[in-house]
Amino acid sequence: MATPQQAVRIKFKFIGLHLDILTCFYRRDSHATLEDYIELSGGQPTIETINKRYACARYPFVPEEEIVTSGVRPFEITYSASGEVGKMNKGFVLEYQVMDVGCGGTYFTDGEAKAVTSPGYPDSYLSHMYCVYYLSVPEVS
């Protein structure tokens, strides 16, 4: 598991789900009940791309075939195959990398001015980051 200051880059190389075109694209309301799927969860809970069940082999289902998500919440991948005869589910292949991006953390101050920057600052903020910053000051007696 990555630390809160790290991010995980995941790149899908192959997703071997076998689902007919009609169900894949037009009968999406049935996806929740299917036994053959790949489900992703992690990062910010409200980001649909990385908190969703996919039932189609169409990949990439994320831009540029990769997901980068912060290590605050574990990133989970569930692959389910029914084993039904005639379905040729062949698993999946992905590459992953843990990167130190300075995402969140606890910062203490002794009264001096300090700076906190978000991952990548001043460049673009990484997609799917969920960083929590705690600023702690000494107790006043």
- Domain map (residue ranges) of the chain: 1-141
Q: What is the pLDDT of residue 74?
A: 76
Q: Which CATH architecture has domain 1-141?
A: Sandwich (2.60)
pLDDT reported for residue 60: 47
Residue type for 24, please? C
pLDDT of 63 reads: 55
* 55 vs 17: CA distance, rounded Å: 7
> Whole-structure pTM over 0.85, yes or no?
no
pLDDT in tens, the chain (141 residues): 667 678 888 888 887 777 677 777 777 777 778 788 888 887 777 777 778 888 776 654 655 567 777 766 678 888 888 777 666 677 788 888 888 887 887 888 777 788 888 888 888 877 777 788 888 877 777
**Does residue 127 sit in helix, strand or coil?**
coil
Three-state SS string across 83-110, please? CCCCCCCCEEEEEEEEEECCCCEEEECC
Q: pLDDT value at position 61?
A: 60
129 burial level (CB within 10 Å; 0-12, 13-18, 19+): buried
Q: Which amino acid is at 45?
A: P
pLDDT at 18: 72
For residues 116 and 103, what is the distance between their CA atoms, to the nearest angstrom?
A: 10
**What three-state secondary structure class fits 58?**
coil
Given a contact cutoff of 8 angstroms between Cβ atoms, the answer to whether 4 and 101 are in contact is no
